[in-house]
Amino acid sequence: MSTVAEIKAAIDQLSFEERCELMVLLNPKTDDEWDGQMKEDALAGKFNELINEADAERSARTLRDFPKP
């Protein structure tokens, strides 16, 4: 496989799962600083109050639509 056309043809032969695997390989997702801070905050329980409030509103069927810009 030495040309782009050959590679494209080979990709066309892959299963859906194999194409997904290839996409992950070609486009690895790395967390930036903001993603890392969000994960740390979540693990530290900083969102628990918001989660509990949303759960209570869902249970009471009082959730509001998200504001539209």
pLDDT in tens, 17-46: 999 999 989 988 888 899 999 999 999 999
DSSP letter for 68, please. Answer: P
Q: Is residue 31 a contact partner of residue 39, using CB atoms and an 8 Å limit?
A: yes
Pairwise pLDDT comparison (1 vs 19), residue with the higher score: 19
Q: Give the per-residue pLDDT at 61.
A: 92
**Domain assignments of the chain as residue spans, ordered by start:** 1-29, 31-69
Whether 1 contacts 10, CB under 8 Å: yes
Q: What are phi and psi of 17, to 5 degrees?
A: -65, -40
Residue 65: predicted pLDDT: 85
Q: Average per-residue pLDDT in the chain?
A: 91
* 10-42 core/surface letters (b: 16 or more CB in 10 A; e: else): eeeeeeeeeeeeeeeeeeeeeeeeeeeeeeeee
The predicted structure's pLDDT at residue 1: 60
